[in-house]
């Protein structure tokens, strides 16, 4: 197993530890969200690093093509689901974000059957960046009216970019489904 794939596996392994510490503040201690924050940042950095290493040293594998996006979705979706459990994010927002991920993944699967690789678009990259920043900002749960207002703005900006990126993705890749219908 090459280094990028090991980093991807590490990211998957970090997810339960992240969830454990994010949800554990009541029974672990007030430092728990900060450990979750560190784990999330480390896991996010492995995502950036594995892709750069794989491209630079031509270490792209089928395992990596499959597991890297799956690991990303596990990390982000686990954070969002935890925020629902913690009553810090509306369920319907998380459902829309997760539904978008399933739709895009399904779309990519259909394209892959025809040998087509669909790269992430600019709106998807904005969505990912804003969602990751939102999660990082929300993990410590600083509290206060101003922080809550910023969190709400970031949540709805993530949601807006999720919808925009989905629409953009479908418009730019509608030919992939045209032959399947």
pLDDT for 26 equals: 79
- Please say whether the beta carbons of 57 and 119 come within 8 A: no
Choose among 104, 94, 77: nearest CA to 169. 104
- Please say whether the beta carbons of 169 and 104 come within 8 A: yes
CA distance 76 to 78: 5
Q: How much is the pTM?
A: 0.91
pLDDT for 27 equals: 84
**Domain locations in the chain?**
3-178
- Please say whether the beta carbons of 7 and 50 come within 8 A: yes
> What six digits make up the tokens of 80?
């969002």
Cα–chain center distance at 153: 18
pLDDT for 129 equals: 92
pLDDT for 168 equals: 93
- Please say whether the beta carbons of 66 and 7 come within 8 A: no
What is the third-level CATH fold of 3-178? 1.20.120
pLDDT in tens, the chain (181 residues): 999 999 999 999 999 999 999 999 778 888 999 999 999 999 999 988 998 999 899 998 888 888 888 899 999 999 999 999 999 999 999 999 999 999 998 888 888 787 777 777 899 989 999 999 999 999 999 889 999 999 999 999 999 999 999 999 999 888 877 766 5
Cα dihedral: 164, 142, 34, 132 (round 10): 10
> What six digits make up the tokens of 19?
């969830």
To the nearest 5 percent, what fractions of the chain are helix, strand and coil? 80, 0, 20
pLDDT for 102 equals: 92
pLDDT for 35 equals: 96
């Amino acid at each position: 197993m090459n280094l990028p794939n090991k980093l991807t596996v590490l990211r998957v392994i970090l997810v339960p530890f992240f969830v454990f510490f994010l949800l554990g503040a009541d029974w672990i201690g007030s430092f728990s969200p900060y450990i979750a924050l560190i784990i999330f940042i480390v896991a996010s950095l492995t995502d950036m690093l594995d892709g750069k290493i794989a491209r630079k040293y031509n270490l792209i594998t089928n395992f990596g093509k499959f597991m890297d996006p799956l690991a990303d979705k596990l990390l982000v979706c686990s954070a969002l689901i935890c925020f629902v459990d913690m009553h810090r994010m509306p369920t319907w927002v998380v459902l829309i974000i997760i539904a978008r991920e399933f739709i895009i993944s399904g779309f990519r699967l259909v394209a892959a059957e025809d040998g087509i690789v669909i790269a992430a678009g600019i709106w998807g990259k904005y969505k990912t960046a804003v969602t990751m920043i939102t999660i990082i900002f929300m993990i410590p749960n600083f509290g206060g009216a101003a922080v809550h207002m910023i969190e709400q703005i970031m949540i709805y900006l993530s949601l807006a970019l999720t919808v925009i990126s989905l629409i953009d993705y479908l418009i730019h890749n509608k030919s992939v489904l045209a032959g399947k219908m």
